[in-house]
Structure 1
Amino acid sequence: MTQFPDLAGKRAVVTGSGGVIGRWIAEVLVEAGCRLCLTDTDQGALEAQLSGLRAPEGSFGHAADLTDSASIEALAAAVGERWGAADILVNNAGIYPSGFLLDIDVAEFDRIFSINLRAPFILTRALATQMVRQGVKGSIINISSGASRKMRRTVVPYCTSKTALDRLTKGFAVELAEFGIRANTLEPGFAAGSTVSALTDEHIRNTVAQIPLGRPSSRDDVGAALLYLASDASAYVTGSTLTVDGGNSIGSLAVHQAKKNPL
């Protein structure tokens, strides 16, 4: 088990906490001592998740619709009322629907950008404002993907939204630096079940076979990277992207499967 940094008493907001990576993030933040504000679409599921995590006193769940700016502002207001300000914001929520550009309709395109890009902008703006007012030198971590740099057929809007999220992160990093607030991007590796669509066993096997380090992402892979960015261990890191994907975004083993490495 990875030894995670001690973040006892820190206040962390995590969007999309019901997904695979969101659950991992919530778990490691609790283990590091954080109080949590978890958000997803189902309030009952959030309460059950917090109970299962045995989250510290002062933790809470707040259901929000990330396509609705008023709902995001209400989430931010709840954080301000409970805590004054958060120390850590993890914009993890994202959707990954599939469809060719000639077939996808405008409403679906807008929904992808609304959740993957617009929501992180609105929530970061609101929570960073609270941090500034409270004098909190916080850490903002946006969950992105190697797809931000490597276009994938049938998920072009997703790839484009993640490219834009990377640029938005750098923009926040530049403009919040004077307040001691850092903003970085984390790119986790492949985790089966982390997309909105169910993945077949064959798809999972084929995907893992192409990853240079030969395995999917684990909870501790994501957790160690996230807590590095959340903690003072990365106090001089802002506007950066930390890729933790087993080498998947830099190259694939698939092209070379017919040959064995002579070494």
Structure 2
Amino acid sequence: MFDDIKGKRALVTGACGVIGRWIAQTLHEAGATLALTDAKASELDALAASLDLRPDSFTKPADLTDEASIKALAGEIGQRWGAVDILVNNAGIYPSGFLLDTSTEEFDRIFSVNLRAPFILTREIATQMVRKGVKGSIINISSGASRKMRRTACVYSTSKTALDRLTKGFGVELAEYGIRSNALEPGFAAGSKVSGLTDAHIQSTISQIPLGRPSSREDVGNALLYLASDLSSYVTGATLTVDGGNSIGSLAVHQDKKSAL
């Protein structure tokens, strides 16, 4: 179904997180050549070894809060490949804290990783794509939090709302070059390191998801391959939500009551 992914060149940020690993593994299995980036070189090396990457694939650590580091990453892409076919802006942070307790520095850090970095990297990578005539796909990993404010995660939610608007902006401005820009909202991924949730909280969250389970690699992977492939050639500026209904409603209210059917 996704045969056109084979031979494509894809850059994935935040590759060592739960969802990042799912994305990297999915693209690798679909036949893509990968450039993987994350903050920690040792974890990148371990991920690359576990996937047995293709010869033209590579890893490069990057600090996404630093513009020079982001530009160096884009420069490596330009040197090795000229341009990518697929860019996945997956890296993100999800600190928890009330607004009244959030420092300006913490606010800036969240926006730096979740919004500023995708802007800079997309600008640099899309410029390469335009110069090389690549009609590619940009996929930003967003969240249902962009539409549903979460207590103690208001800054995160706001950053994802802004990322959705940036996704649409790039969709409008890159369309004439045949470059598509879309967002993907994965569901709750148990085991994510970014939030440090307790087992009790994880189980409580899963119990409230309408479809009754957390997200899987197949859920995220199939949606991502759709947005990366020619099957979505007429889709840009869109948000694909794959979260078991978590962002539209919760089973927490009146969950002791059953339908009369």
Q: TM-score, normalised by structure 2?
A: 0.98
Q: Which residue of 1 aligns with 2:127?
A: 129
Partners of 1:250 and 1:139 in 2: CA distance: 27
Alignment partner for residue 87 of structure 2, among 81, 86, 89? 89
Q: Write out aligned runs for 1:103-182 (5 A).
A: 103-182=101-180
Q: CA deviation at 1:44?
A: 2.5
CA contact under 8 A between 1:187 and 1:243: conserved in structure 2? yes
Q: Which residue of 1 aligns with 2:260?
A: 262
Q: Deviations over 1:137-189 (max 9, x none)?
A: 01000000000000000010000000000000000000000000000000000
Count of matched residue positions in the alignment of Structure 1 and Structure 2: 261
Partners of 2:86 and 2:147 in 1: CA distance: 26
Partners of 1:110 and 1:247 in 2: CA distance: 31
Letter in 2 for 1:174: V
Q: CA deviation at 1:195?
A: 4.6
Q: Which residue of 2 aligns with 1:226?
A: 224
Alignment partner for residue 199 of structure 1, among 159, 173, 197? 197
Q: Which residue of 1 aligns with 2:237?
A: 239
Partners of 1:208 and 1:43 in 2: CA distance: 32
Structure 1 residues 5 and 260, CA gap change in structure 2 (3 angstroms): farther
Letter in 1 for 2:242: V
Structure 1 residue matching 2:5: 3-state secondary structure: coil
Letter in 1 for 2:155: P
Q: Deviations over 1:170-213 (max 9, x none)?
A: 00000000000000000000001225232211111110110000
Partners of 2:197 and 2:100 in 1: CA distance: 24
Partners of 2:245 and 2:5 in 1: CA distance: 29
Q: CA deviation at 1:261?
A: 1.6
Alignment partner for residue 33 of structure 1, among 31, 34, 55? 31
Letter in 2 for 1:228: Y
Q: Which residue of 1 aligns with 2:7?
A: 9
Partners of 2:20 and 2:36 in 1: CA distance: 9
RMSD: 1.0
Matched, 1:76 2:77: no
Partners of 2:202 and 2:16 in 1: CA distance: 21
CA contact under 8 A between 2:2 and 2:229: conserved in structure 1? no
Q: CA deviation at 1:46?
A: 1.1
Structure 1 residue matching 2:181: 3-state secondary structure: strand
Contiguous gaps of at least 5 residues in structure 2: none
Letter in 2 for 1:134: K
Letter in 2 for 1:159: S
Structure 1 ranges of 4+ moved more than 3 A:
3-6
Letter in 2 for 1:52: S
CA contact under 8 A between 2:4 and 2:230: conserved in structure 1? no
Structure 1 residues 204 and 238, CA gap change in structure 2 (3 angstroms): same
Partners of 1:14 and 1:40 in 2: CA distance: 9
21-30 or 189-198: bigger deviation: 189-198
Q: TM-score, normalised by structure 1?
A: 0.97
Contiguous gaps of at least 5 residues in structure 1: none
Structure 2 residue matching 1:159: 3-state secondary structure: helix
Q: Which residue of 2 aligns with 1:250?
A: 248
Q: Deviations over 1:31-69 (max 9, x none)?
A: 000010000011222122112101111000000000000
Q: Deviations over 1:105-158 (max 9, x none)?
A: 000000000000000000000000000000000100000000000000001000
